[in-house]
Amino acid sequence: MTDGLDGVRDHYRATGLTERLKTALAALGPANEKLTPQQLGALDQFHTRGLAATAELAKLADIGADTSVLDVGSGIGGPARYLAATYGCRVTGVDLSERSGQSGQVSFQAASALALPFEDGCFDAALLQHVAMNIADRARLYREIRRVLKTGGRFATFDVVLNDGEPHYPVPWARTPATSFLLTAPATREAIERAGFRTLISQDDTEVAKAWFAQLRASGPPPSPNLGVVMGADFAQLAANLGRNLMEGRLGILTAVLEAA
Ligand SMILES: C[S@@+](CC[C@H](N)C(=O)[O-])C[C@H]1O[C@@H](n2cnc3c(N)ncnc32)[C@H](O)[C@@H]1O
């Protein structure tokens, strides 16, 4: 693909992932035993505060059994599986990484958030968790999300924002500044609203994220399987740098829920 997104693809590219996942998951129990979102949370929820953050965002977005949800930049698929398992809703995940497939109420497609492969107005809700910081063309990102949502639909975003000063790299979404495109919280909200949204909820979640990182630092990385299986041995360092950037006031965490106007 020549869409200018190869640097981001390379950052998340995991070679031999299927085999590594099989080995890591074998430690959790026999292959025919169903794993819970809680067992997998340290591995497949690729954002600050893991499963707890997804659970909170789903509540804020008012997701229920009848909500058709689009998870933009769905990563390893943990948030999509959690939503379907918890609410019984249909969830479609889209990510740059070469994954596709369907299981029960969850389906995944490989596509860019900047060219979503869906018709106008076909989802009730869209989630965007820790993805926007990889995307330079925010106007296009938020316009695409608005386009595929029904009028009155909800957009729930949970992302890292620029606060004060240059972040230390590498961080979990970018090993260098070349694939990192951060905006401040007000600039993020403004870009979203300009795409045709009305803000319902906007909260600064930096302090709760800092507390989570402080606890992580004290207790050490979560037991395997965790995101190190996917991102490689340096993941603990990437995560520690995000914690440090938050502690030093360089970065912040924004949660916002908006309505498609
Ligand atoms: C930090 S992970 C977050 C994954 C997931 N949202 C979660 O919270 O578990 C960021 C994900 O965004 C995806 N991504 C980045 N830029 C994208 C784009 N332009 N289109 C689709 N996915 C993108 C990456 O491939 C990666 O899987």
pLDDT for 99 equals 67
Query: How far, in Å, CA of 8 to CA of 3, rounded?
Result: 11
ω into 30 cis (within 30 of 0) = no
Mean pLDDT of the chain: 93
Residue ID of nearest Cα to ligand 1 atom 9: 46
Query: In the 8-state DSSP scheme, what is residue 226?
Result: S
Q: Is 26 helix (H, G, I), strand (E, B) or coil?
A: helix
Best residue among 134, 137, 175, 253 to mutate for probing ligand 1's pocket (most ligand atoms within 8 Å of CB) is: 134
Query: How far, in Å, CA of 163 to CA of 175, rounded?
Result: 19
Task: State the pTM of this model.
Answer: 0.94
- Tens of pLDDT, residue by residue over 216-234, are 889 987 777 888 888 888 8
Average of pLDDT values for 45-59?
96
Token pair 């340290």 is found at 42
Average of pLDDT values for 186-196?
98
Atom of ligand 1 nearest to the CA of 46: 9
- Tens of pLDDT, residue by residue over 97-120, are 866 677 789 999 999 999 999 999
From its phi and psi, is residue 131 left (phi > 0), alpha (psi between -120 and 50) or beta?
alpha
Average of pLDDT values for 187-194?
98
